[in-house]
Amino acid sequence: MAPPNGSDRFRRPRAVRSGGASALAGRSAVASGLAARPEHVAAALRRRPVLPPYWRDLTVPVPPAQNAALPAPLPQLPPCVMHCLPRWRLVLEARNIPFMAVRRGDRQHLFVPALYERLARQELLAAEGEDAAARARPPAPPPAPLRANAHLTLLGLLLLALWHGVRMGWWWDMNLPLPDLDPDAWRDAGAMDVYYTVARGQWYRVVTALTLHADSPHLFGNILFGSFFLIPLCRRVGSGPGWLLTILAGAGGNVLNALARPASHVSLGFSTALFGAVGVLSGLLAVEGGWSGWRRMVVPLAAGLAILGMLGSEGERTDLGAHLFGLVAGIVVGMAAQGLRERFGAPPRWLEWLAGAACAALLGGSWMLALR
């Protein structure tokens, strides 16, 4: 009887552990037993399939004489050990390359057709190079532990509400040593008026405008919105650095907004800084562990843009440009902060307190310039 491959010249039968030939042999045995007696069908199913001729072994080096006879030498694969065989089989299956895994004694071998040998070796060599590069890459540093400082963040938002009371005159009847100014006077002195900011050079307005609000609903909406993003940011980097990065991102967003808007435009509110906090978080997550690929960077940035679309583009008096520029400035600030953090490590506790003091000095100094 001729063998299943149609040739009367074949190698010594070998046991096939897995691969396409096993299923082919089983189907041939069942098909041949449809018109045969049951004992013949059982014998056919027990028959060990054979290795087709002219299949090449990938687990042994290519003989030098064979490589010299070829127009282009076949790539040599690294020595194959038992733990690499499953990975090689996955690579061949992913590339739709037919193969058979054959056990010879205590070793397993991978055979592929001769026409697929070069492609199989190239794919396996590329996979081994990727694995070696991944093993050589230093592991990403573990993320810093989150800090239990939500109360300090909420205290900062409370101070923002108290400052709004100073501007609106809530505490005048308490005989406190506070400036007795009309609310419109506070607005004229600190709002981000493009004409005064750019033409008159009053750039302190990009900071003072962050502490002004049109009315109480505007203030409490920003406090409610800000708690969802300032608390995670401050828990990640510390209260002092978190507030300083937020104010810097908000001031940077106001600078970009002032340069892009006409001279008659006026803007105020803490929401620019809050979207700056969203951008800072996105920038921190984008480059955490190094520049490890566009997918890792795009996902948090896309999340920041989605938040801008959901929460920062509604309302008649919403300054969409300020929100967008605050988000962009926050992304830049966050990436820069994460780069410094990964280069020099997490800041010590005294530096966090110094960052908080610098944030307070920036706000206080800007208002001193506004009220002089």
Extended beta strands in the chain, E state? 16-19, 55-57, 100-104, 107-113, 192-193, 266-267
What region, left, alpha or beta, does residue 11 occupy, with left being phi > 0 and alpha being psi -120 to 50 degrees?
A: beta
**pLDDT over 50 (residue 16):** no
The pLDDT assigned to 202 comes to 92
The pLDDT assigned to 8 comes to 40
Q: Reduce the DSSP state of residue 171 to 3 states and report it.
A: coil
Per-residue pLDDT of 139-156, as tens digits, reads: 655 666 788 888 888 999
For residues 205 and 318, the answer to whether their CB atoms sit within 8 Å is no
**pLDDT over 80 (residue 306):** no
Per-residue pLDDT of 104-122, as tens digits, reads: 767 788 889 988 888 988 9
Q: In the sheet that 107-113 helps form, which strands lie side by side, from edge to edge?
A: 16-19, 100-104, 107-113, 55-57
**pLDDT over 60 (residue 3):** no
**pLDDT over 70 (residue 33):** no
The pLDDT assigned to 173 comes to 59
* Region 122-131 average pLDDT: 83
Q: Which H or E run includes 306?
A: helix 294-311
**DSSP letter (8 states) at residue 290:** S
Q: Can you read off the two tokens belonging to residue 30?
A: 């069942």
Amino acid at 145: P
Q: Can you read off the two tokens belonging to residue 251?
A: 């001031």
**pLDDT over 80 (residue 37):** no
**pLDDT over 60 (residue 99):** yes
